[in-house]
Amino acid sequence: MKLIVNGKVIGEVKKGLKLGDIHDEIEKAGVEFGCTDGQCGVCVCTVVRGLECVEEPSEVEEDTLWRIGEYDENRRLTCQMVIKEESCPVLEIKTED
């Protein structure tokens, strides 16, 4: 499945990958990272396409989203997103308008 971040194609992502593990690549598309373990919330993004192919948020991610006032269906912490399946053609996220 293809990963697109802020309109930039990052590349193919496989089942089981945690986006935090490729934060170096994703940073190049303008996403800011801090802790990379779901605590700080700076990597919050909107999932534009492919949310159904991402694992549900963990308790840590949900807690952080609540704390920073970003708890919403398609708002996620980029660093905490894990690919659940590759059946979606694209996973697209954005942190910029």
HSE-up of residue 33 (Cα within 13 Å, Cβ side): 18
35 is an interface residue for ligand FES by CB under 6 A:
yes
* Beta strands at 44-49 and 90-94: parallel, antiparallel or unpaired: antiparallel
CA distance 42 to 90: 23
Query: Of the ranges 6-14, 29-37, 51-59, 85-93, which one interacts with ligand FES (CB under 6 A)?
Result: 29-37
Applying CB under 6 A, the site for ligand FES has a residue count of 13
User: Looking at this protein, which amino acid is placed at residue 2?
Assistant: K
The answer to the question of residue 40 lying near ligand FES (CB under 6 A) is yes
Residue 43 contacts ligand FES per CB under 6 A? yes
| Smallest distance, ligand FES to C-beta of residue 87, A | 26
Cβ pair 22, 10 in contact under 8 A: yes
**Residue 36 within binding range of ligand FES, rule CB under 6 A:** yes
Using CB under 6 A as the binding rule, whether residue 57 contacts ligand FES is answered as: no
Residues contacting 56, CB < 8 A, separation 6+: none
Interaction site with ligand FES (CB under 6 A) = 33-36, 38-43, 64, 77, 79
